[in-house]
């Protein structure tokens, strides 16, 4: 029987609560193949003990796995720019996982803050650039702590980097019934990076005459997600723009606890893909057992799909939808009283049945 090797990186805060929940559902879905897990206890507690977020050879330890399932990184005890850059961003960048796929869909039975909108009205797929842009980490600080202090944070947009994410987004749009692509830009104010971005959208678009392209300034696009969500299908955006838009997407889904993501490199393998919730470690609710595990469960379904197990992935999604539609079991962020564990058990039972 085929065995997939999964590296588990629960991380910090509610990451440690939602990953075991997702594993319970994954185990219920594993039929005709086996999942073998190896946990890695890296994160802020590890940093406080060891002075680093992961061992020096951490990336090498992860490389042989078929996939990584990650919870969330970040805790108030460690500055975020250290914890995130030295672990999560390091994995994304070093493994060149240049696509971050983030579906935004309303699931049955879940109330959305959008009045009168139903599952059939909201079905977006965000394709976020995940390897450069505003997150390149190029810059520095000068005359630190003086009145003349200067901080510079450079955005880096390469033609190669822009082209590959935009091409991937066109491919996704082509495969979907509506075949629409919206590009998030801000070329009215950013005359170098975003003008290059727009040019590449036009150039690559010539190869996809079957896809309808629209370009929106990112501010107007944020508004459009609320006023005309049904007009959006695939949305492509830079690292920062799509980061911000997809938290808005999570809110439209009814809770940040629903938004899932896949970090992948569809062209070449420099390391395993990473599947994770969009949300963070939620220190405000950690340790209470009430975190919504849906994003981690959905990310697990995306992982199975990516591993080549679409039937098991679909079973997870349909189990999740059945439990939500029944309206009995849900966590407090969705107005319920269930714990993380109770919700995961309900989905796992449904997936098994």
Distance, in Å, from the CA atom of 300 to the CA atom of 319, rounded to the nearest integer, reads 13
- Nearer to ligand IPM (CB atom), residue 214 or residue 240: 240
Give me the phi and psi of 124, to 5 degrees please: -110, 150
Q: What is the per-residue binding string for ligand NAD in 282-311, x denoting contact by CB under 6 A?
A: xxxx-----xx--x----------------
Could you say which of 58, 237, 257, 272 contacts ligand NAD (CB under 6 A)?
257
DSSP 8-state class, residue 229: G
Residue 264 binds to ligand NAD (criterion: CB under 6 A): no
Closest to 328 (Cα-Cα) out of 319, 336, 340, 318: 336
- Nearer to ligand IPM (CB atom), residue 40 or residue 275: 275
Interaction partner, residue 333 (ligand NAD, Mn ion, ligand IPM, none; CB < 5-8 Å by kind): ligand NAD
Interacting span for Mn ion (CB under 5 A) from 73-81, 183-191, 236-244, 290-298: 236-244
Residue of minimal CB distance from Mn ion?
243
Residue 276 binds to ligand NAD (criterion: CB under 6 A): yes
Annotated active-site positions, please? 135, 186, 219, 243, 247
Asked if 180 and 149 touch (Cβ cutoff 8 Å), the reply is no
Place of tokens 């749009």: 173
Residue 278 binds to ligand IPM (criterion: CB under 6 A): yes
- Nearer to ligand IPM (CB atom), residue 71 or residue 319: 71
Could you please report the per-residue DSSP string of 82-143?
Answer: HHIIIIIHHHHHHTT--EEEEEEEPPTT---SSTT--GGG-EEEEEEE-SSEEEEEEEEEES
User: Least distance to ligand NAD from the beta carbon of 352, Å?
Assistant: 23
- Nearer to ligand IPM (CB atom), residue 82 or residue 195: 82
Distance, in Å, from the CA atom of 212 to the CA atom of 168, rounded to the nearest integer, reads 15
Asked if 125 and 101 touch (Cβ cutoff 8 Å), the reply is yes
Residue 259 binds to ligand NAD (criterion: CB under 6 A): no
Could you say which of 45, 80, 121, 342 contacts ligand NAD (CB under 6 A)?
80
Give me the phi and psi of 98, to 5 degrees please: -80, -10
Residue 21 binds to ligand NAD (criterion: CB under 6 A): no
Could you say which of 67, 68, 88, 242 contacts ligand NAD (CB under 6 A)?
88
Cα-to-chain-centroid distance, residue 270 = 19
Question: Measured between alpha carbons, how far is residue 321 from residues 62, 77, 258, 306, 315 in Å?
Answer: 32, 37, 12, 20, 10
Q: What is the per-residue binding string for Mn ion in 186-225, x denoting contact by CB under 5 A?
A: ----------------------------------------
Question: In the complex, which residues of this chain contact ligand IPM (CB under 6 A)?
Answer: 84, 88-89, 243, 278, 280
Question: In the complex, which residues of this chain contact Mn ion (CB under 5 A)?
Answer: 243
């Amino acid at each position: 029987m085929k065995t997939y090797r999964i590296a588990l990186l629960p991380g910090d805060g509610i990451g440690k609560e939602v990953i075991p929940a997702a594993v319970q559902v994954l185990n219920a879905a594993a039929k005709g193949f086996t999942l073998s897990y190896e946990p890695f206890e890296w994160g802020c507690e590890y940093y406080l003990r060891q002075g680093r977020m992961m061992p020096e050879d951490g990336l090498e330890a992860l490389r042989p796995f078929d996939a990584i399932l990650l919870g969330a990184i970040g805790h108030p005890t460690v500055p975020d720019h250290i914890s995130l850059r030295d672990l999560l961003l390091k994995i994304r960048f070093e493994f060149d996982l240049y696509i971050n796929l983030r579906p935004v869909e309303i699931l049955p039975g879940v109330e959305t803050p959008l009045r009168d909108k139903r599952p059939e009205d909201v079905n977006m797929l965000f394709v976020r650039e995940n390897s450069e842009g505003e997150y390149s980490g190029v810059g520095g600080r000068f005359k630190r702590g003086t009145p003349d202090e200067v901080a510079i944070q450079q955005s880096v947009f390469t033609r190669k980097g822009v082209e590959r994410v935009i091409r991937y987004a066109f491919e996704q749009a082509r495969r979907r019934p509506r075949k629409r692509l919206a590009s998030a830009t801000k070329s009215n104010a950013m005359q170098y990076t975003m003008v290059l971005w727009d040019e590449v959208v036009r150039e690559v678009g010539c190869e996809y005459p079957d896809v309808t392209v629209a370009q929106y300034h990112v501010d107007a696009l944020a508004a459009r997600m609320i006023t005309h969500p049904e007009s959006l299908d695939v949305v492509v955006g830079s690292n920062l723009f799509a980061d911000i838009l997809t938290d808005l997407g999570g809110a439209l889904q009814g809770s940040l606890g629903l938004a899932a993501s896949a970090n992948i490199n569809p062209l070449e393998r420099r390391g395993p893909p990473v599947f994770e919730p969009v949300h963070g470690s939620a220190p405000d609710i950690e340790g209470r057992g009430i975190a919504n595990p849906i994003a981690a469960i959905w990310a697990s379904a995306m992982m199975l799909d990516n591993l080549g197990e679409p039937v098991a992935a679909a079973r997870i999604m349909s189990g999740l939808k059945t439990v939500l539609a029944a309206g009995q079991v849900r966590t407090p962020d969705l107005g319920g009283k269930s714990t993380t564990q109770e919700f995961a058990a309900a989905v796992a039972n449904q997936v098994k049945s």
